[in-house]
Amino acid sequence: MRFLPPTPPPRHQPIEDMASVIASLDCKTPPLTPSTPGAFAGDPCFFSRGAHTFRVPANLHEDNRKRAITLLKDHPPGIIVLVGGVARTRNDSDHEELFRQESYFQHLFGVKEPGWVGCLEMPSGTCTLFAPELPKSYAVWHVCGVFVTLELDAVAAMAMGKIATRSELSNRYGVKVKWLSELQEHCSKAKCYVPRGRNSDSGKRIDEALPLPVELPTLVHSTTIPNHCFVALAESRVIKSIDERKLLRYASWVSSNAHAEVMREAKAGMMEYQLEARFLYHCASQGGCRSCAYTSICACGPNSAVLHYGHAGAPNDRRLETGDLALLDMGAEYHCYCSDLTCTMPVGGKFGPAQRIVYEGVLSAQRAVFAMLKPGVSWTDCHLAAENEVLKALELLGVLKKGCVTEAQRACVGGVFLPCGLGHFIGLDTHDVGGYLPGQPARSTRPGLAKLRTARTLKQGMCLTVEPGCYFIDALLDDALKDPSLSKFLNADRLRGFRGFGGVRLEDVVCITSNGFENFTTCPRTINEVQAVMAGGTWPPPVDEAPDLGRRWARFVNGALEDVSVPGIVLPKGARRGSFSPGGSPGTRRGSGSLIGRVRASSGSFSGREDY
């Protein structure tokens, strides 16, 4: 008996017709650059997703280990045991979720597979990795992605039907590899230590989140939390190496371009999740970023006042309406290094008068912080400077009574409208580690400051987000109006009109340099830029309207970012951009929406820039 395939239903077009339709689509995303085998022969590389993606240098994780071992120089002799991430399935099913390596393990070793353990022998610093020995049956189900050469753009040698040997794994990761079954014997002749400490953002302990896969009889059960090795390993992630900064810059470059694409395509009638989908597509297809750093926040209208919108209970499912503000907080991840960017734009393409004042106030807050960024500056002081600019905008808006910005800030009114911290460390985690380690400034109890994820003094090589915002959150407004110490500064009648307004947040990733900062974010930021891109304008722009934002423009060439000079508009000497004048009317604006005085062209360079 012969079975014939069923006839396609009428709604299915023939393949030829579908191909012609797809070919006729106007897609603004540039075509992918084809991978050219051997294009970068002789250039040592540890990780890449093809010729059109960033090439992670071979020495990245070795340098990270050296930095950690230096900080561990006073650690007692013995073996520090680090547990890598484990594979997880969805609930009780056999569906294996996409694996992402544990961040400390990724920092030191860059191992992409689950179930590994690493050992650092002190004081020698000798490293050994322990891999699970896979049964032969795995050869049927898995592809062994062992790189047999360092020409990664030629794509790894996919050893179908083959399990990687220890020798191949050692060559892959540049560290001696043993099987996990040998771990107990390896650790039996020395005292063993595991990092014990609590993540100051999640409150979780690393030793509880990732228990040892086998019992180690010589394990030292430290009663000190955090213990020495935890503090040293966390601190080693605070200051980024030059290669780590390049990775973070790449992730932010991809994310910035994706944000510009979303901004150009956003229209009333779309759904929030369609904006998310466009961002994810760009990051994956153009940047090789298979994962994002966190769940995308695509918050429109009143949803933009929800700080961490986009969760399962509010899954980016609102329709965009003309007049809404769309707050889009989305960031790509590459080789586990994160970006975290936020843009806010008006649905319909034009900011309304009140939206413009709030937006310019938040951008002014960013500018105030950027003007401060350099080694030796307190992050707490940066937050207070941003808060002050937001209060000035609220005064212009009529929400805050005139002439009381300073007193209102002392009374913590700023915490009503900017209830979260100014920003956070960023690296292998979106909210990266090191915020409140022993010996560093303690967390404040003051409203607003209490939510800062660090209160440290800035140092060269720190990478952080700068994300001021202004939010009209009903629960906080209700509490403030009931509190006489706060309500006396607020115009209740004027505030009533901002229920449902939502919020504005602008978030950039920056790196502290020897004499200033570098901005890895190249999103549209000024009102002119945002509205121009939403109208279909090109990005990056032919002229940088805001050189003071320190955006480091780039293009992608041969597996790396190459600096691009964008002529900038510079204000005359003595003119100040982006600062609000107390007592001004909503019609008198400075900053992102207009230029003050005559302008002249500049090279677009920024004093804080470091070439690496």
Same domain? 285 vs 267: yes
Distance of alpha carbon 546 from the chain centroid: 22
| Distance, CA of 333 to CA of 58 (rounded, Å) | 19
Question: Which of left, alpha, beta for 252 (phi over 0: left; psi -120 to 50: alpha)?
Answer: alpha
CA neighbor of 467 nearest in space, from 337, 334, 307, 595? 307
Same domain? 126 vs 250: no
390 in a structural domain = yes
117 in a structural domain = yes
Q: Looking at this protein, which amino acid is placed at residue 13?
A: Q
605 in a structural domain = no
| Distance, CA of 288 to CA of 43 (rounded, Å) | 19
* Regions of the chain with pLDDT less than 50: 1-42, 145-159, 575-608, 611-612
pTM of the prediction? 0.86
314 in a structural domain = yes
- Three-class SS of residue 101? coil
Same domain? 321 vs 202: no
Q: Looking at this protein, which amino acid is placed at residue 361?
A: G
Instruction: Please tell me the predicted confidence (pLDDT) of residue 590.
Output: 34
Is 331 within 8 Å of 341 (Cβ atoms)? yes
Last residue of a domain, one of 186, 214, 235: 235
- Three-class SS of residue 378? strand
| Distance, CA of 66 to CA of 236 (rounded, Å) | 10
Same domain? 64 vs 191: yes
Q: What is the DSSP string of 526-576?
A: SHHHHHHHHTT--SS-SSBS-GGG-B--EEEETTEEEE----EEEPPTT--
Half-sphere exposure of 207 (CA within 13 A, CB side): 19
53 in a structural domain = yes
Instruction: Please tell me the predicted confidence (pLDDT) of residue 216.
Output: 94
Angle, CA of 425, 429 and 435, to the nearest 5°: 35
Instruction: Please tell me the predicted confidence (pLDDT) of residue 138.
Output: 79
The CATH number of the domain where 95 resides is what?
3.40.350.10
Determine how many CB atoms are found less than 10 A away from the CB of residue 396: 25
580 in a structural domain = no
Cis peptide before 195 (omega within 30 of 0): no
Cα dihedral 537/543/548/550 (nearest 10): 80
Q: Looking at this protein, which amino acid is placed at residue 535?
A: A
Distance of alpha carbon 1 from the chain centroid: 59
> Residue 369: phi, psi to the nearest 5?
-70, -45
CA neighbor of 394 nearest in space, from 479, 489, 274? 489
Same domain? 376 vs 251: yes
Instruction: Please tell me the predicted confidence (pLDDT) of residue 571.
Output: 55
Query: Structural domain tally of the chain?
Result: 2
- Bridge partners of residue 50, in order along the sequence: none
* Structure tokens, 176: 């001696």
Same domain? 231 vs 246: no
- Using alpha carbons only, how large is the chain's radius of gyration in Å? 26
Same domain? 281 vs 178: no
Same domain? 207 vs 253: no
Is 466 within 8 Å of 140 (Cβ atoms)? no
CA neighbor of 512 nearest in space, from 562, 445, 456? 456
| Distance, CA of 355 to CA of 503 (rounded, Å) | 9
Look up the domain containing 152 and give its range.
45-235
| Distance, CA of 20 to CA of 22 (rounded, Å) | 5
Same domain? 346 vs 281: yes
The CATH number of the domain where 250 resides is what?
3.90.230.10
* Structure tokens, 194: 């595991």
60 in a structural domain = yes
Question: Which of left, alpha, beta for 140 (phi over 0: left; psi -120 to 50: alpha)?
Answer: alpha
pLDDT, tens only, 133-158:
988 887 777 665 443 333 333 334 44
- Three-class SS of residue 510? strand
Same domain? 206 vs 276: no
5 in a structural domain = no
Instruction: Please tell me the predicted confidence (pLDDT) of residue 143.
Output: 60
Same domain? 157 vs 247: no
* Structure tokens, 47: 């990780």
Question: Which of left, alpha, beta for 183 (phi over 0: left; psi -120 to 50: alpha)?
Answer: alpha
Cα dihedral 71/73/76/81 (nearest 10): 50
Q: How far apart are the first and last CA of the chain?
A: 70
Instruction: Please tell me the predicted confidence (pLDDT) of residue 43.
Output: 57
Burial 171-203 (b: 16+ CB within 10 A, else e): bbbbbebbebeebeebbeeeebbbbbbbbbbee
| Distance, CA of 417 to CA of 314 (rounded, Å) | 22
Last residue of a domain, one of 511, 540, 569: 540
Last residue of a domain, one of 235, 252, 276: 235
Angle, CA of 448, 451 and 455, to the nearest 5°: 95
Same domain? 359 vs 446: yes
